Structure 1
Amino acid sequence: MPVELDDTDVAILKSLMEDGRKSFRAVSREIGVSTPTVKARYERLINIGLIKAVRPEIDLSKIDKAREDLVSLENIKKQKKHFHVYVEGLKVKLKCDFCGGPVHGKPKVLRFARFERFFCCVQCRASYKEKYGGRIEMLKRSQEEGE
């Protein structure tokens, strides 16, 4: 007998289709149900076979032009959805998370909670920390409490 999806199941699927990296907590806040409910429903959707896999969606515009040969473009054209990217030696173009400019060379990295932000220079990293310092501290505290 087919399993009928209710409004909560559909809302979870829609939320995860927008961004599959969302935490159960983020989904629960978005759709207005508890985190354990989202987790249980997600596991049920996997168990019934509706959710088969979680895969990255690769933004091909971020691939460095010098390494474009690593992407199998024929497969992209033929299958439209499925393609193969050879990850070894692949380079990704980064934008500064503060000024939006390109990151040349090794990025300046800011790590906090479960996040990483990438910057073109130490000034942008310092400006980001100054602008978002309160939010960064809040995220650090909430992660420490969750552990």
Structure 2
Amino acid sequence: MGYELDQLDTSIITSLMEDGRKSFRAISRELKISTPTIKARYERLVKIGLIKSVRPEIDITKISKSNKKSLSEDLLNSLKTNKKHFHVKIDNLQVKMKCDFCEGPINGRPKSLKFADIERFFCCTSCRNDYKGKYGGRIQSLIEQYKENKKK
């Protein structure tokens, strides 16, 4: 199954497809959503691997096979040919994701772990707990570095 994009996610993607260089502030004004929310959603889309670059370049291999059938031919052709400007409607997409611990598929809603400015996604709470156990020292170190950098 994977991470299911909601209306806000698809609105952000659509806005960026119109102009990939739009600022978070411009998108927030357009969608009437706060700038920090737009930034957080954009970063999540990057972290799950759907947006691969600022352009944005959409990785169609991340879209589940059942959803590819519902995409319009214009979108698929535009994505395959790296056409920079195209206007299509995107609805009800799911992104295929791998667990950051066991690297297995994430079915259903992913379990996430946020620390510092990093977010990791897991298939189950067991993998999330095992990840915290294995990398707990490194996570704490990153949190401390992040706090120090924010003070500066």
TM-score range relative to shorter protein:
0.5 to 0.7
State the match for 2:82 in structure 1.
81
Unpaired segments of 5 or more residues in structure 1?
Answer: 1-52
Across the two proteins, how many residue pairs are aligned to each other?
A: 93
**Quick check: 1:62 aligned with 2:62?**
yes
Q: Is the CA contact 2:60–2:79 (under 8 Å) kept in the aligned structure 1?
A: no
* 1:132 maps to 2:138: no
Q: Percent identity?
A: 51
Give 1 or 2 for the bigger CA radius of gyration: 1
- RMSD over aligned CA atoms reads 2.2
Give the number of the structure with larger relative contact order, counting CA–CA contacts within 8 Å between residues 6 or more apart. Answer: 2
Q: Which residue of 2 aligns with 1:103?
A: 106
Structure 2 residues not aligned, in runs of 5+: 1-52
Relative to structure 1, the CA distance from residue 74 to residue 57 in structure 2 (aligned partners, 3 Å threshold; closer, same or farther) is closer
* Residues 63 and 138 of structure 1, relative CA distance in 2, 3 Å threshold: same
Distance 1:132 1:104, change over 3 A: same
Does structure 1 retain, via aligned residues, the 8 Å contact 2:58–2:79?
A: no
Residues 52-86 of structure 1 deviation map (CA, whole Å, 9 limit, x = unaligned): x9323322111011211326123245xx2226574
Q: How many Å separate the matches in 1 of 2:132 and 2:89?
A: 35
Matched, 1:119 2:132: no
